[in-house]
Structure 1
Amino acid sequence: MAEEIAAAQVIQDFAIIMIVASVMALVSYRLKQPMVIGYIAAGMIIGPHTPPFSLILRPEILNLLAEIGIVLLLFVVGLEYPIAKLRSIGRKALVIAFAEAFGTFGLGIAVGQAMGMTLFDSMFIALSISVTSTVILSQVLKEFGISNTDTASLILGVTVIEDIIIVSTLAVLQSVASSGHLTLLDIAISVGLVLAFIGGALFVGSKTVPKFVDLVSKTNHFDVFLVAILGVAFGLSFIANQLGISVAAGAFFAGVLVAESKAHATARLLTSPLKDMFAALFFVSIGALMDISKLPLFIVPALIFIATSFAAKFVAVYTSARSQGLDKRISLQTAFGSSASGGELALVTAKGGADVGATSSFVLPMVGAMTIITSFLSPYVVKFGWKISERLAPERPGVNEDQDKDEPS
Structure 2
Amino acid sequence: MIQDFAIVMVIASVMALIFYKIKQPMVIGYIAAGMLIGPYTPPFSLVTHPEVVNLLAEIGIVLLLFVVGLEYPIAKLRSVGKKALIIATTEAFGTLALGYIVGQAMGLAFFDSLFLALSISVTSTVIVMRVLEELGMIKDKAAVLLLGVAVIEDIIIVSILAVLQSVAATGSLSIQEVGISVGLVLAFIGGALFLGSKTVPKFVDMVSKTNHHDLIIVAVLGVAFGLSFLANQIGVSVAAGAFFAGVLVAESKSHAIARVLSMPLRDMFAALFFVSVGALMDISLLPLFIVPALILIATSFAGKFATVYISAKLMGTDKKTSLKSGFALSASGGELALVTAKGGADVGATSAFILPMVGTMTIITTFLSPYVIKFGWKFANSLRQKEEEEEKGDVPPA
- Give the TM-score category using the shorter length: 0.7 to 0.9
Residue in 1 aligned with 2:263? 272
- Structure 1 unaligned segments of length 5 or more: list them: 1-9, 399-409
Residue in 1 aligned with 2:363? 368
Letter in 2 for 1:172: S
> What is the RMSD of the two structures over their aligned residues, measured on CA atoms?
3.2
- Greater shift after overlay, 301-310 or 97-106? 97-106
CA 177–239 in structure 1, closer or farther in 2 if over 3 Å, else same:
farther
Letter in 2 for 1:183: L
Per-residue deviation, 1:160: 2.3
Decide which of 226, 230, 237 is 1:235's aligned counterpart: 226
> Scaled by the length of structure 1, what TM-score is found?
0.81
Q: Distance in 1 between matches of 2:45 and 2:264?
A: 28
Q: Distance in 2 between matches of 1:240 and 1:94?
A: 19
Decide which of 204, 218, 222 is 2:213's aligned counterpart: 222
Letter in 2 for 1:83: I
- List aligned pairs for 1:191-206, cutoff 5 A: 191-206=182-197
Q: Distance in 1 between matches of 2:64 and 2:341?
A: 19
Per-residue deviation, 1:188: 3.0
CA 223–71 in structure 1, closer or farther in 2 if over 3 Å, else same:
same
Q: Does 1:296 align with 2:287?
A: yes
Q: Distance in 1 between matches of 2:183 and 2:360?
A: 32
Q: Distance in 2 between matches of 1:343 and 1:71?
A: 23
CA 316–344 in structure 1, closer or farther in 2 if over 3 Å, else same:
closer
- List aligned pairs for 1:372-383, cutoff 5 A: 372-383=367-378
Q: Confirm or deny: 8 A CA contact 1:44 1:288 kept in the other structure.
A: yes
- Greater shift after overlay, 349-358 or 195-204? 349-358
Letter in 1 for 2:374: P
- List aligned pairs for 1:126-137, cutoff 5 A: 126-128=121-123, 133-137=128-132
Residue in 1 aligned with 2:173? 183
Q: Confirm or deny: 8 A CA contact 1:128 1:346 kept in the other structure.
A: yes
- List aligned pairs for 1:105-116, cutoff 5 A: 105-115=96-106, 116=108
Per-residue deviation, 1:377: 3.4
CA 84–377 in structure 1, closer or farther in 2 if over 3 Å, else same:
closer
Alignment partner of 2:356: what SS? Answer: coil
> Scaled by the length of structure 2, what TM-score is found?
0.83
Q: Does 1:169 align with 2:164?
A: no
Q: Distance in 1 between matches of 2:134 and 2:13?
A: 20
Residue in 2 aligned with 1:59? 50
Q: Confirm or deny: 8 A CA contact 2:119 2:338 kept in the other structure.
A: no
* Overall identity of the aligned pairs, in %: 56
Residue by residue, what CA displacement relative to the aligned partner does 1:289-309 show, whole Å, maximum 9, x if unpaired? 111101123333343344334
Alignment partner of 2:334: what SS? Answer: helix
Q: Confirm or deny: 8 A CA contact 1:99 1:317 kept in the other structure.
A: yes
Residue in 1 aligned with 2:11? 20
Q: Does 1:34 align with 2:25?
A: yes
Residue by residue, what CA displacement relative to the aligned partner does 1:43-73 show, whole Å, maximum 9, x if unpaired? 1111111111111111111111111112112
Alignment partner of 1:64: what SS? Answer: helix
Letter in 2 for 1:262: K
Q: Does 1:258 align with 2:249?
A: yes
Residue in 2 aligned with 1:315? 306
Residue in 2 aligned with 1:68? 59
Residue in 1 aligned with 2:335? 348
Letter in 2 for 1:163: A
Decide which of 139, 156, 161 is 2:143's aligned counterpart: 156
Residue in 2 aligned with 1:11? 2
